[in-house]
Amino acid sequence: MEKIKRYGQIIYILWLRQIKRHYRSRARVVGSLAQPILFLVALGFGFGPIYQRAGGGDYIQFIAPGIVAMSIIFTAMFAGIEVIYDKQFGFLKETLVAPVKRWNIMLGRTLGGATVATIQGLIVLVISFLIGFRPDNLWLLPVAILMMILMATFFTALGTAIASKLEDMQAFPLIINFLIMPLFFLSGALFPLEGLPRTIQIITYLDPLSYGVDGIRGALSSQLHFGFSHDFGIIIILVFLALGIGSWLFSKIEV
Amino acid sequence: MNIIEVKNLVKRFDDIVAVDDISFAVEKGKIFAFLGPNGAGKTTTIKMFTTLLQPTSGKISINGFDPSTQSDSVRQSLGIIFQDPSLDDELTAWENLEFHGVLYGVSKKIRRQRIEELLKVVELENRRDHLVKEFSGGMKRRLEIARGLLHHPQIIFLDEPTLGLDPQTRNHLWGYIKDMNQKEDVTVFFSTHYMQEAEKMADQIAIIDHGKIVAQGSAQDLEKQTQTDTLEDAFLQLTGKDIREDSAKAIDRLRTNRRVWRR
Ligand SMILES: Nc1ncnc2c1ncn2[C@@H]1O[C@H](COP(=O)(O)OP(=O)(O)O)[C@@H](O)[C@H]1O
Ligand SMILES: [Mg+2]
């Protein structure tokens, strides 16, 4: 019991630190909203007419959940750069030398980044509402939010784990973009997964983001490809996997 | 009882042997100085003691535990003030201290009380709510020292703690450390390249140069061994008179920039 309380305190203070750091940097907060808004407006209005003519219905209903997922994956993965900052500014030593379980460190940092990414996703959801997106069923909003939290946790853990192996600030964005682009474009965020060529379909099924997008879209727009149990099952497994690997990598860091 | 024991410790970085087969012991409750010029291997040794680096070979025992295999127990036993910067610039002074206190499990009451006390010792009490990035180099150093002293471990490592401090703060700091050493039997292990500091503060001194321990004992022992009158003369005789710059550091930086991925 004593132990659990201590773990809680440590995870909380690590979480709090990430939150404070993020919201003290106004540029970061504003800058990270520009891209999803651009995507919403350009794709939503640009492709809307074609999508409708092809018999897909209202494109904004389809794409808004995809853009919410996009803003989450970007914010979450890039949160990993905090580890590299901490290495370069020396603060990582302070955490690593403390008598604290490595999984506490990994989890605290991850939850901090995941909170920021989830909030980001919610802001984009509100913006898409202003543009004309209407959730089918507000009762399912908590399901969508739960999926956003899980996705944010998985991708933050992944970005953090990758960053723990890196030394330099320039390499990280390159690597993360290299990963995010295919994850995003091959996820069903932008197009339906039905009726795709076989190879592309297999690739989309291997993309974790597909399940995140599907869960959010299923809840908000009642368009479900895999089914909730599939979506949640897979993302939950991935969350534990990424946190486990990240904790192990943290135990190997030398500074 | 020896609280630190080191046998044939070696640390190699690619082509550099930073720590070259050193052996020594530190008795519990003593103040021990690790004296040596720049690049001698002091920081590398301390990092191996504190679980931040894995030795290439050799044995270390800290409070009876091995840093490589019993890192948790070693971390429970120690506190450290790093030589290089280690603060979070985006947090306030107070937040940095609070963070440290929580990580080390210092209870809230003691934590708050010590934070107040230490902020006074390092004369930062009226800056407690300022972001660290607004601080001068000296203020940051003082804050790091306050943070390092916030929890009272069994062994405290101080890596060139007084580098760049003015004489008053240096005195305050040593007053606090001596007090901790005497009242709570905290073992103090500090590195320095100031001979006077080693002579004045330490019960035992080990002189390290080019990764090797060239002599050890009390200041008097060292003077006797070298047949000199002052520790300064003894030190110069043992390490040679050439002045060493930290040019190795610049090469390191080039190296780490090239090497993007860790092993
Ligand atoms: N991460 C590293 N990679 C390569 N060489 C290093 C690294 N860290 C330290 N060194 C080298 O090891 C030697 C000892 O350094 P250090 O322990 O920092 O000395 P000191 O603390 O006594 O000034 C120096 O030559 C330094 O350049
Ligand atoms: Mg040093």
Mean pLDDT for the stretch of residues B49-59: 97
Mean pLDDT of B207-230: 87
Tokens of A29: 């907060």
pLDDT tens, position by position, A4-43:
999 999 999 999 999 999 988 877 777 788 888 888 888 8
Those residues whose beta carbon sits under 5 angstroms from the ion ligand 2 are B 42-43, 83
Q: How confident is the model at residue A46 (pLDDT cuts 50, 70, 90)?
A: confident
3-class secondary structure, A137: coil
**Ligand that lies nearest to the alpha carbon of residue B247, given by its number in the listed order:** 1
Instruction: Tell me which amino acid residue B42 is.
Output: K
Q: What is the mean pLDDT of residues A226-254?
A: 97
Give the domain ranges of chain A.
2-251
Q: Write out the residues of chain B at the interface with chain A, using a CB-CB cutoff of 8 A.
A: 47, 50-54, 72, 75-76, 78, 80, 82, 84-91, 95, 98-100, 102-105, 131, 147, 256-257, 259-262
> Mean of the per-residue pLDDT values for chain A?
93
Nearest to B31 by CA among B165, B206, B194: B206
* Residue A132, phi-psi category: left (phi > 0), alpha (psi -120 to 50), beta (remainder): left
Going by pLDDT thresholds of 50, 70 and 90, the confidence category of residue B228 is confident
Average pLDDT over residues A128-151: 94
- pLDDT of A32 reads 80
ipTM, two decimals, is: 0.90
Classified as helix, coil or strand, A192 is coil
Kindly indicate the confidence band of residue B244, based on its pLDDT and cuts at 50, 70 and 90. Answer: low
**How big is the CA angle at B64 (ends B63 and B66), to the nearest 5 degrees?**
100
In the prediction, which pLDDT does B227 show? 78
A→B contacts (Cβ < 8 Å), by residue, are 6, 9-10, 13, 17, 20-21, 24-25, 86, 89-91, 93-101, 165-168, 171, 254-255
The answer to whether residue B236 scores a pLDDT higher than 90 is no
Q: Binning pLDDT at 50, 70 and 90, where does residue B163 land? A: confident
Ligand 1 binding pocket includes B39 (Cβ within 6 Å): yes
Ligand 1: which atom is nearest the Cα of residue B40? 22
Q: Residue B247: pLDDT band by 50, 70, 90 thresholds?
A: very low
Would you state the pLDDT for residue A195?
87
What is the structure's pLDDT at B241? 59
Does the reported pTM lie above 0.80? yes
What distance, in Å, lies between the first and last C-alpha atoms of chain B?
Answer: 38
Residue B167: pLDDT over 80: yes
| Mean pLDDT, residues B230-236 | 77
Lookup result for tokens 């080990």: B206
**What pLDDT, in 10s, does the model give residues A193-206?**
988 999 999 999 99
Q: Is the per-residue pLDDT at B175 higher than 50? A: yes
Mean pLDDT over B244-257 rounds to 45
Using one digit for the tens of pLDDT, what is the confidence trace for A91-134?
999 999 999 999 999 999 999 999 999 999 999 999 999 998 99
Q: Which of A13, A17, A84, A94 to probe the B interface (max B CBs under 10 A)?
A: A94
Answer for the pair A254, B53: CB distance below 8 angstroms, yes or no: yes
Tokens linked to B213: 């321990």
Average per-residue pLDDT for chain B: 89
d(CA B223, CA A39): 75
- Chain B residues touching residue A94 (CB < 8 angstroms): 82, 86-88, 100, 103, 147
What integer pLDDT is reported at residue B259 of this predicted model?
A: 43
- The pLDDT, as a whole number, for residue B79 is 94
B214-229 exposure pattern, b = at least 16 Cβ within 10 A, e = fewer: bbbeebeebbeebebe
Domain B2-262 has CATH 3.40.1160.10: no
pLDDT at A53: 84
Judging by beta carbons within 10 Å of its beta carbon (0-12, 13-18, 19+), is residue A38 exposed, middle or buried? Answer: exposed
- Predicted confidence at residue B222, as pLDDT, reads 83
Q: In whole angstroms, give the CA distance from residue A20 to residue A82.
A: 12
Ranges A49-53, A110-114, B149-153: which has the least confidence: A49-53
Written as six digits, the tokens of B260 are: 């993007």
pLDDT at B224: 82
Q: Could you report the per-residue pLDDT of B95-125, keeping only the tens digit for each?
A: 999 999 999 999 999 999 999 999 998 999 9
Average pLDDT estimate for B12-26: 95
B129 pLDDT more than 60: yes
Nearest CA-CA distance, residue A87 and chain B, Å: 9
**pLDDT higher than 70, residue A90:** yes
- Determine, for residues B90 and A25 on separate chains, whether the beta-carbon distance falls below 8 Å: yes
pLDDT at A168 over 80: yes
pLDDT (mean) for B62-80: 95
Q: Which residue has the tokens 């404070």?
A: A20
Distance from CA of A248 to the nearest CA of B (A): 14
Q: Please state, for a pLDDT cut of 90, what percent of chain B lies above it.
A: 71
